[in-house]
Structure formats: structure tokens, C-alpha cells
């Protein structure tokens, strides 16, 4: 019941009896006392009613605060099992009425694709972001999240930004390597680590600068029927619907890599030296790494929220213990968002 309706009902119940009582009262001080009491009683009733209505109408807040939804795979999980369960979940979503509302979904691809090849695969749906990685042989390369509402334009622009960051990263690694002038086993290993990091970062920069075939997954939003159509395209390995996702900044997407066919495991990395446990632990002081650049937020669209998804480690992608973190990225993070 609204506050106004409640007050009107109180008036209709209280005022007529009070008016009749007042007509019977004598003139003078008694009447003034009665009027004062009635005024106080009415004010108290109005105040209590307003407080009661305010308490009932108070908003409960955002019920999703603190919740994080995970979509995709984890290390050690069966890839065929994940693909099969995604198909079953999508089939149930299509068969359950009403199935016309848009829902988020994680689309994983069978191969790494270039930006222009994404257009026929993701046509007629709203794309929120894509996942990219330079597939260098026997090398763990960084997974990047690129906001991409427009395909392929946003992907190409995002790759150019990643290339700039990788070029700066390679230069920083070379600088760090140049500061190690000693001949101890420990310093030789560190130089090899820095030189390897510089070579990998430079190779990544070159690949992204050329709009490489590096995209292997995407987060989209579409109707269950449209998701079913995308799942049938030859470039798509799985479409994992996520109707439980309401906000991308409270969701973690973990797509499997195209080369992972049986179970999720870290890619092999032979570019780094094995640590020597007998080497002394003391090393020369290293220059402070460059400040981390805060990634810009993607442009808001009607289909995708403006907030970028939270950056999280991808399945099976962990930095080698012997490798120092890239100078332009947070320590221990193998992924990055634009």
C-alpha cells in the first residue's frame, strides 16, 4: 500500500469521530487542550507511517556484488568432455522456453584465426571481446584480451596496441640484460632469460603488427538460436552458453587453446634455461621496471557493457618460475587486457 493511500485511510477513520467529539465539547480551555492533543497524535501517526513506508521501500542493493562466475575450462579438465557438456547445455537452453532472450557465451575456435576471418564466424551477433595469443612453437606466449565490438576493426586496432606494448617490453628486457656484466653462472642464466624474453616479445610484436592469425576465442551475446547456428560453423569447436553471467566485469572466461585436444595442460616452453640450484643467490641490483600502464576501457555498446572483463590467468598458462615478469605487466600475470 502506498504512503498516500495509507494516510488517506487514517484521515477517513480518525477525523469524523474527532469532529463529532469536538462538537460536543464546550468552548474554552478544554477545547484548546483537546485540539493540542489531536495535533500531536496526528503528527505522530504521520511520522510513524512515513518511517514504515521508507523502511519497506528501501532498495536491497546489487545482489551480484562479490560473485564471480567462471566459464570455460581449468587445468587437468578433459577437452572432449568440455565440448560435449557445452553442446548439451546449449541444446537445453534452446529447448527451454522462452529461448529468445540474449545470453552471453564463450566461443572457442578450432584454429587461430586472423581478424578478417572472424567476420563470417561471428556475424549477426554482438561481440564483447576476443582472446589472442601468438602461437610460437614450444614457447609460452602471453594471452591477451581485446575488446572488440566491431569485427574486424577493433581486433586490428587492439593488436596494434599490443604490438606497441610488446616492443617496449622487448626493449626493457634488452636493457636488463645489458646491466648484467658479470661472468657467474647465475648472471649467465639471467642474461639468457632476459635475452629469451626480449626475443619472444619482439616476435609477438611483429606478429600482432601484421594482424596475425592469433585469435582463438570470443565472448559474444546472442539468442540461443543464434548461438546454435554459430556452434555449427566449421571454425567453431564449442559454444559454452553462460546465462548466469549478468556483468562481464564479474565473469572469468577460460577458453581452451586450439592445440589442446585431450586435457588442459600448460604449453611446453623450451626457450628458458633450467635453473642451477648450486648457483649463488646474490645478483646485481636490477633497474626498476617501467610503470604498469592502466589498460583503457572498451567503448560502451548497446550489446556489451562498457566495463572490461576482469583479467585472470588462462587455463594452463603460467609463467615459468625462472622467468622474470614482463616489465610492463603485473607480476605473475600471463594475461593482459587492453
The C-alpha angle with vertex 253 and arms to 267 and 317, in degrees rounded to 5, equals 20
The Cα 119–Cα 219 span in angstroms is 14
User: DSSP label at 202?
Assistant: H
pLDDT tens, residue by residue, 106-149: 999 999 999 999 999 999 899 999 999 999 998 999 999 999 99
The sign of the torsion formed by the CA atoms of 229, 235, 241, 245 equals negative
Give residue-wise pLDDT tens across range 51-61. 665 555 444 55
Distance of CA 131 to the CA centre of its chain: 12
What is the distance, to the nearest Å, from the Cα of residue 34 to the centroid of all Cα atoms in its chain? 66
With 0.85 as the threshold, say if the pTM is over it.
no
- φ/ψ (deg, to 5) at 106: -100, 120
pLDDT (tens digit, 9 = 90+) per residue, 219-238? Answer: 999 999 999 999 999 999 99
pLDDT tens digit sequence for 175-197: 999 999 889 999 999 999 999 99
Query: Is pLDDT at 325 greater than 70 in this prediction?
Result: no
Amino acid at each position: 500500500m502506498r504512503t498516500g493511500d495509507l494516510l488517506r485511510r487514517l484521515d477517513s477513520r480518525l477525523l469524523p469521530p474527532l469532529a463529532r467529539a469536538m462538537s460536543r465539547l464546550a468552548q474554552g480551555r478544554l477545547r484548546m487542550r483537546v485540539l493540542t492533543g489531536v495535533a500531536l497524535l496526528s503528527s505522530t501517526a504521520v511520522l510513524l507511517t512515513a518511517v514504515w513506508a521508507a523502511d519497506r521501500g528501501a532498495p536491497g542493493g546489487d545482489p551480484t556484488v562479490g560473485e564471480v562466475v567462471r566459464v570455460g575450462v581449468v587445468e587437468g579438465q578433459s577437452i572432449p568432455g568440455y565440448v560435449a557438456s557445452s553442446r548439451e547445455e546449449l541444446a537445453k537452453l534452446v529447448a527451454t522456453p522462452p529461448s529468445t532472450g540474449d545470453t552471453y557465451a564463450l566461443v572457442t575456435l578450432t584454429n587461430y584465426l586472423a581478424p578478417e576471418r572472424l567476420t563470417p564466424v561471428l556475424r549477426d551477433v554482438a561481440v564483447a571481446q576476443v582472446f589472442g595469443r601468438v602461437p610460437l612453437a614450444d614457447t609460452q606466449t602471453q594471452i591477451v584480451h581485446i575488446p572488440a565490438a566491431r569485427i574486424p576493426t577493433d581486433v586490428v586496432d587492439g593488436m596494434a596496441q599490443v604490438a606497441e606494448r610488446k616492443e617496449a617490453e622487448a626493449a626493457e628486457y634488452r636493457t636488463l640484460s645489458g646491466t648484467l656484466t658479470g661472468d657467474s653462472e647465475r648472471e649467465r642464466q639471467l642474461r639468457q632469460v632476459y635475452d629469451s624474453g626480449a626475443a619472444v616479445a619482439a616476435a609477438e610484436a611483429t606478429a600482432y603488427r601484421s594482424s596475425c592469425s592469433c585469435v582463438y576465442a570470443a565472448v559474444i551475446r546472442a539468442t540461443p538460436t543464434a548461438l546454435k547456428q554459430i556452434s555449427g560453423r566449421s571454425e567453431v569447436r564449442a559454444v559454452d552458453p553462460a546465462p548466469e553471467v549478468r556483468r562481464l566485469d564479474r565473469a572469468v572466461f577460460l577458453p581452451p587453446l586450439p592445440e589442446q585436444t585431450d586435457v588442459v595442460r600448460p604449453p611446453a616452453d623450451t626457450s628458458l634455461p633450467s635453473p642451477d640450484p648450486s648457483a649463488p643467490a646474490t645478483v646485481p641490483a636490477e633497474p626498476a621496471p617501467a610503470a604498469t600502464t592502466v589498460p583503457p576501457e572498451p567503448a560502451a555498446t548497446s550489446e556489451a557493457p562498457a566495463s572490461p572483463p576482469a583479467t585472470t590467468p588462462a587455463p594452463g598458462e603460467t609463467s615459468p618460475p625462472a622467468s622474470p615478469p614482463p616489465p610492463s605487466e603485473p607480476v605473475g600475470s600471463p594475461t593482459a587486457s587492453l
